[in-house]
């Protein structure tokens, strides 16, 4: 089989992968409204980041680059919650 045939087969497989859909979108029912799971995980990640900032300030830990640290903590907590809930 030449390289054109392999590309064609690989392209068809990639197209079929993109055309498949999810069985259901992960969402939470909060007071009768459905919210996407990523939004709930982001909100909880922000709450955990604020709690971590409070704890670090109570322990008198000096953060060298807070403009990089706190968004990184938010992303870490958000992805950790996502993988813990929907793995």
Show the domain range for 64.
Answer: 24-86
User: 48, 56, 33, 57: which is closest to 84 by C-alpha?
Assistant: 48
Q: Indicate whether 43 belongs to any domain.
A: yes
- Counting the structural domains of the chain, the total is 1
**What are the tens digits of pLDDT across the range 4-35?**
555 555 566 666 555 655 566 677 777 787 87
Q: Indicate whether 11 belongs to any domain.
A: no
Largest CA distance in the chain: 66
**What are the tens digits of pLDDT across the range 53-78?**
999 999 999 999 999 999 999 999 99
């Amino acid at each position: 089989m030449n390289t054109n045939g392999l590309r064609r087969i690989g392209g068809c497989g990639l197209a079929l992968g993109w055309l498949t859909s999810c069985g259901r979108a992960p969402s939470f029912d909060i007071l009768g409204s459905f919210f996407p799971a990523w939004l709930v995980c982001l909100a909880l990640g922000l709450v955990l980041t604020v709690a971590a900032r409070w704890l670090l300030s109570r322990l008198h830990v000096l953060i060298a680059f807070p403009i990089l640290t706190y968004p990184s903590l938010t992303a870490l907590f958000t992805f950790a919650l996502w993988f813990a809930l929907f793995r």
